[in-house]
Amino acid sequence: MKDRLIFALDVDSYDEARQWVRILADEVGMFKVGKQLFTRCGPQIVDMIRQAGGGVFLDLKYHDIPNTVAKAGIEAARMGVQMFNVHALGGGKMMRTMVDEVREAAVKEGFPVPITLAVTILTSSSEEDLRQVGIDLPVTQMVPRLATLARESGLHGVVASAQELPLIRQACGGDFVVVTPGVRPATAARDDQQRVMTPGEAIAAGSDYLVVGRPISKADDPVLAARSIVAEMTEAGA
């Protein structure tokens, strides 16, 4: 079950990232590298994690013209990341182009195709936030709509709140990968997340991977915190 736990490596230096990788490499399945860390450190941060035996979820949420996103996806795959994501709001053409060109490059160059994911609606977004940018449909309609578009475009899955999991499963089936951020143990603060579940609730609802950051990094004993989350996941998945 620990392979399904992803630690959010939301730090601002290479040395701090390396320290967390050393602490948690045996406790989690992947490390999420986001915009802050990748902008600071670049591909070397991915190399460091992989050399330590860890997997990488490259969380850069590509959203641009189809050709640009496709080329970025190829470079992500060349780095050897296990998964990366794009914004579903970029549209079907953008996602299909990326999927096709990554697969073509993988065949030509002999690298594995990562798990490709689409971000539906950020877990920090409220419906009022969506209305401010012109999206009048509720989250419960937008998420399965975007998930279906991602599936039809050839992506492996989505990043979405566990609270929308039943809607995604109904729309896309049980073999569609769902990566769930915004996971908080019952005793942890919500921080800036709006739509959250506990690790056990998320696994019971059918999440494939959980992304957890501050409940581990801010714990008095991060290793114990990670193990406690894995234990809760295991119990819920039994």
pLDDT band at 124 (very low <50, low <70, confident <90, very high): confident
pLDDT band at 6 (very low <50, low <70, confident <90, very high): very high
Environment class of 229 (CB within 10 Å of its CB; exposed 0-12, middle 13-18, buried 19+): buried
Question: Distance between CA 196 and CA 208 in Å, rounded?
Answer: 16
Cβ neighbour number for residue 191 with a 10 Å cutoff: 13
Summarize the annotated binding site as residue ranges.
10, 32, 59-68, 123, 184, 193, 213-214
Question: Distance between CA 185 and CA 231 in Å, rounded?
Answer: 12
Q: Which of 116, 125, 129 has its CA nearest to residue 82?
A: 116
Question: Distance between CA 161 and CA 68 in Å, rounded?
Answer: 27
**Per-chain mean pLDDT for the chain:** 93
Do residues 103 and 145 lie in contact, with contact meaning Cβ atoms separated by under 8 Å? no
pLDDT number for residue 184: 83
**Domains and their CATH numbers in the chain:** 2-237 (3.20.20.70)
Place of tokens 């603060």: 189
Active-site residues, by number, are 59, 61, 64
Looking at the predicted structure, is the pLDDT value of residue 188 above 80? no
How many degrees, rounded to 5, is the angle at CA 4 between CA 139 and CA 88?
A: 35
Residue 139 DSSP SS3? helix
**pLDDT, tens digit (0-9, with 9 covering 90-100), for 22-78:** 999 999 999 999 999 999 999 999 999 999 999 999 999 999 999 999 999 999 999
pLDDT number for residue 194: 47
Summarize the annotated binding site for substrate as residue ranges.
10, 32, 59-68, 123, 184, 193, 213-214
**pLDDT, tens digit (0-9, with 9 covering 90-100), for 158-167:** 998 888 899 9
Name the more confident of 19 and 192. 19
pLDDT number for residue 36: 95
